[in-house]
Amino acid sequence: MIDSPDSPDNPIRLPRKPARVFRSDVRMARLRVGDAVRVTPVFHTEVTGPRGPVKVTFKLEYLQLGGTFKVRGSLNALLEAGDDGRPAVIASGGNAGIAAALACAMRGRACTVVVPESAPHTKVAAMWAYGAEVLWHGTSYAEAYRHANELATERGALQLHAYDLAAVVAGAGVVGLEIERQVRGRPPVLVAVGGGGLLAGIAAAFGPRGRVIGVEPKGAPTLHAALAAGRPVDVRVNSIAADALGATRVGDIAWNVAKRYDVGSVLVTDDAIAVAREYLWREFRIVVEAAGATALAAIQSGAYLPAPGERPVIVLCGANTDLATL
């Protein structure tokens, strides 16, 4: 089980006002980050669905620097903070740590990533490759997060967050602005959900004009559970995508955006995720991690059925994986 920093067994929380992210924040993030990150392409194609071929558009965000959309948010947060020389600290089970390490390397900042013992070696190796100090602490994300809080205080560091920091969400939302320019009309966009940073950013970028659907493993239904309960609640996590979608509670920012823009959620099984991941490799020679295939799993399993004439956009969000697991 991977714990969220908002879990009830985590008594230490960052003092912060509830943050809200809007399209204006995402537009500012795009201006701030500029061409320091890649504009990832889209690919119009067909995939196999339960009722036959389904027309879709892939947003190839797994081609982003560092193999993850998260570098957009980390870099935006660093640029917003200014070049004050402080090191950065983040707790992460994987992609957020890679993104922070890369963004800090780009800005000449020192970076420390605190990871739980369960962090995949492939992702830890990527953090090292970008020059980060990696510290193992505890067996859960919550324990790593508590230690990251302590380190940030001791070192006077800038503390980044994997998904629940306004600048991080706004940076991720630039993916939505790109989709607007690349895809005609306003098709629904399917996005994998962990803590909800990417979903919140894209939904904020679209505002009331767009439609975003969260796709979650049945073993990690943070947004789905929050929508059912009417508020964020803790869930138990047990999924093959847990190293990237392993938050136990949806972020406060994501919850605010989901309520504001009526964002929905569908659930998929681990088997469906594994099938979608293998399908991407077999049919397109696309290598993604389990989280990167989660949105496609909704189409192939029938958890989301496009309306007649609808061509949904599927965000393939990350590719930091061990090739031996394909």
pLDDT tens readout for residues 129-151: 999 999 999 877 778 888 998 99
In a shared domain, residues 31 and 107? no
Residues 96, 227, single domain; the answer is no
In a domain, 40, yes or no: yes
Select from 146, 163, 180 the last residue of a domain. 163
Strand-pair category, 313-315 with 189-192: parallel
DSSP per residue, 242-300: TTTS--SS--HHHHHHHHHTT-EEEEE-HHHHHHHHHHHHHHH-----HHHHHHHHHHH
What six digits make up the tokens of 152? 């940030």
In the sheet with 158-159, reading across from the earlier edge strand, the strands are 133-136, 111-115, 88-91, 158-159
Residue range 69-117, pLDDT digits in tens:
999 999 999 999 998 889 999 998 889 999 999 999 999 999 999 998 8
Looking at the structure of the chain, the number of domains it has is 2
In percent, the amount of the chain with pLDDT more than 90 equals: 83
pLDDT tops 50 at residue 13: no
207, 91: one domain: no
Residues 97 and 171 in one domain: no
Give the count of beta carbons closer than 10 Å to the beta carbon of residue 49: 17
Given a cut of 80, is residue 325 above it in pLDDT? no
d(CA 145, CA 164): 13
Give tens-digit pLDDT for 278-303.
Answer: 999 999 999 999 999 999 999 999 99
* pTM summary value: 0.92
Judgement on whether residues 284 and 140 belong to the same structural domain of the protein:
no
* Residue ending a domain, choose from 163, 194, 215: 163
Q: Which of residues 55 and 92 earns the better pLDDT score?
A: 55
Parent domain of 108: 70-163
In a domain, 227, yes or no: yes
- 47: in domain: yes
Count CA atoms closer than 13 A to 39's CA, side-chain side. 9
Q: Alpha-carbon distance 242 to 303, whole Å? A: 20
Cα–Cα dist 215/208, whole Å: 19
Asked whether residue 109 falls in the same domain as residue 228, the answer is no
Q: What is the mean pLDDT of residues 121-132?
A: 94
Q: Which residues pair with 14 in a beta bridge?
A: none
The closest of 71, 86, 16, 78 to 40, measured between CA atoms, is 71
Please indicate, yes or no, whether residues 56 and 188 belong to a single structural domain of this protein: yes
Judge if 204 and 302 occupy the same domain: yes
Q: What CATH number is associated with residue 159?
A: 3.40.50.1100
In the numeric block, the tokens 């339960």 are attached to 50
Instruction: Tell me: do 75 and 155 sit in the same domain.
Output: yes
* Domain's final residue, options 163, 193, 215: 163
